[in-house]
Each structure stands twice: as C-alpha cells, then as structure tokens.
Amino acid sequence: MFQSGLTRMIAAFFLFLATPPLLHGHSGLPTTLKGPAFANPEEVATKEEAWQKQPIRYNAQDMGAEVVVLLDQNNYPGLLPLIQAFARKQQIKVVVREGTCGPAIEGLQRKEVDIGGSCCPPAAADRLPGLRWHTIGIAPLAILANAGDPITQLSAAEVRSIFRGEWLRWSQVPSVAQLVAKDLPIHPIIRFHCKTRPGHWRLLLDNKELFSSRADEVGSMLDMVTNIAKRRGTLGYEENWHTINQPRFRGKVKTLAVDGFHPHDRKAVASGKYPFYFTYNVSTWSSTTTSNAKASQLVEYLLAHAEEIDPSYHVVPASELKKQGWQFKGDELIGEPPWLQTVAPP
C-alpha cells in the first residue's frame, strides 16, 4: 500500500516537472497551453538492418514511374502544380497521390514512395534511417467562425479558453461581449489528426484532453467547415485552405484575426505574430539503396519555387522564415524564432 502511494507521488512529481507552467497575461487568461511546435530532430527511429538495406519498391499501380510522391491532403493542392511543372520540364513520369499524414508516413515506412509529405513536423517515429525532411514553408491555421456572427477577431488566449470550454456564451468573452446577443451560445467544433506529432492544432492546446467535453468533434476537414457554415455561434479551426476557399462557403464562413493579426497577413505569419500555423514538409531518401536523384531534384525545385505556390494558400516560404529567425537544420524547420519561445503577456 505504501509503495503504491509512493509510486503515484513520484509519478505525479515528474509529470509536474514535464508540464509547461500555466502562465497568465494581464487579462488573467492562460497563454501557454500550446503543445510543442517541433520535436527533437536528434531523435531517430530504430530499424533493423534488413529494413535499412531494403530498396524502394513501387506498388503495382505506380510501375513505370520515375518518381512516386505521396502527399497529405493539406499540402497536395499547393504543391501539385509545381510537381507537374517539374515533370514537364524534365520530361519524366512523376506519380503524385493524395492521402493524409498517416498514410504518407506509412508509405515511407513500407518504402513504397520516394517522397512523402505532411502538414505536421515529424515525430521521432517518422525520422526513419536514411530519410531527410525538407520544409517548403508554413501556412496559417485559420480560426473559423460563422460569417453571420459579428465576431472578427479574438486573442490567442481567448481562443484557447473557448476551446477549453471556460465560457458557455459569447457574451462572456471579454473582447466581443458587447457585440453579440447575450443568449448566443458558443459551439466549439474540433477535429483531431496526427495526435502524436507536434505542431498544427496542438499549437492551440497540447492534447485532446484539454479540449472541452462539450465541443463537437468531427472527422474531416469538410465536416468542420460545413458545420461552421450552417450554425451560428460556432468556432473551429482548419489548415486546409483548399477547403476553406471553396465557393460554396463564401459568405458563410470567415477567418478571424488573432491577437490583432489576420491569417492572410503574410508578414504576420512569417514573424510569428499570427500564432497558429502548419508546415509544408516533404522528405527524400539518402541511403545508397533508397536514394533517387530525380526525387532529390524535384524537392530542390519545390524549395526554389515555393514563391510560386497559389497565393490563396498563404504559404510563407522557408527562405523568408530563415530571414525571420526561424531555426533550421539543413532544409528542415526545427524551431520557432527565439523570441516566440518566451511567452510575453498580451
């Protein structure tokens, strides 16, 4: 009995040490509930020698390709035109498939693709031996509201408090209390993906358990935006600008400014003043049994032509991030600018 109690006390103590402190700004609202933006780039997955010697073997439907690319659905629309342009210039056959971050990583694990793409920074399990990650850029994760509501901006602290379920009605939210009807309820809508990877929605709140039990959880990007379009008082988030920009949602869903900065403000995203974002990450193989020179040339092309990505996706290229002090290891974004890593009161 004593040993069991002591064990729980020790476990609680180390959990306390591992948990970031809950700081508060002048408004009394929490400002440091976000999860890690990036994982330690030195932590690499362990694979048996037989796996490491295994070459890339395409699936039957990809036979005849010279490069096979599997991208997550957030980065696919922005990168596809550039990949197609590269294939035309080089006169090579590039197969590009669309999935999510999970299947893209699984394709790499099975060594079925030359290039994988994800909207999340890699976790330790994604850093496979012989695999290198490259960051094309970042894009803002939008905070979304119903277009019929008079809300145009919130603070990051208010966004976090809403998703935590601290307020039931919009009239309780300090910055918008005078703008909304007192009886307008808050309907948070949430969507979880890549729960074990850093960044993306975890910049709002670190893990699923921190979100309100009253929030409505949806399973897809389309469900998220559709629900917001149909219901007053909703608040959601989305990183897929291809979905947000669809004509059917114009005049029905709007993006909000956060801390006074709009996600359309490229300079604010580049400097980190707009606080929520996701990454355009792609990978290449570097070992003697897996490397593909044409795949490496394609990634170099994407890095060099990131400025040509459709402006409606609001991508800030890696070259601009480097000027703003974001931390890189080779081509991979691994850390925010130093000033962002110290939370200042609003």
- Does this chain's domain 49-139+276-341 share its CATH topology with 141-271? yes
pLDDT (tens digit per residue) in 145-172: 999 999 999 999 999 999 999 999 999 9
pLDDT band at 24 (very low <50, low <70, confident <90, very high): very low
Domain ranges for the chain: 49-139+276-341, 141-271
Q: Does residue 77 contact residue 313 with C-beta atoms inside 8 Å?
A: yes
> What is the CATH code for 141-271?
3.40.190.10
pLDDT (tens digit per residue) in 39-88: 999 999 999 999 999 999 999 999 999 999 999 999 999 999 999 999 99
Q: Identify the pLDDT of residue 195.
A: 87
Instruction: Tell me which long-range contacts 193-197 makes (C-beta under 8 A, separation of at least 24).
Output: 193/100, 193/101, 193/102, 194/101, 194/102, 194/118, 194/119, 194/120, 196/123, 196/125, 197/39, 197/101, 197/118, 197/120, 197/121, 197/122, 197/123, 197/126
Q: Identify the pLDDT of residue 108.
A: 94
Q: Identify the pLDDT of residue 100.
A: 86
pLDDT (tens digit per residue) in 225-248: 999 999 999 999 999 999 999 999
- Torsion of Cα atoms, 226 then 243 then 158 then 193, to 10°: 90
- Give the mean pLDDT of the chain: 89
Q: How many CB atoms lie within 10 A of CB 36?
A: 15
Q: Average of pLDDT values for 253-269?
A: 97
pTM of the predicted model as reported, rounded to 2 decimal places: 0.87
Q: Identify the pLDDT of residue 32.
A: 65
CATH superfamily, domain 49-139+276-341, is: Periplasmic binding protein-like II (3.40.190.10)
Q: Which of 34-38, 74-78, 99-103, 210-214 has the lowest mean pLDDT?
A: 99-103
Q: What is the C-alpha separation between 223 and 218, in angstroms, rounded?
A: 6
One-letter amino acid of 91: Q
pLDDT (tens digit per residue) in 180-211: 988 899 999 999 988 889 999 999 999 999 99
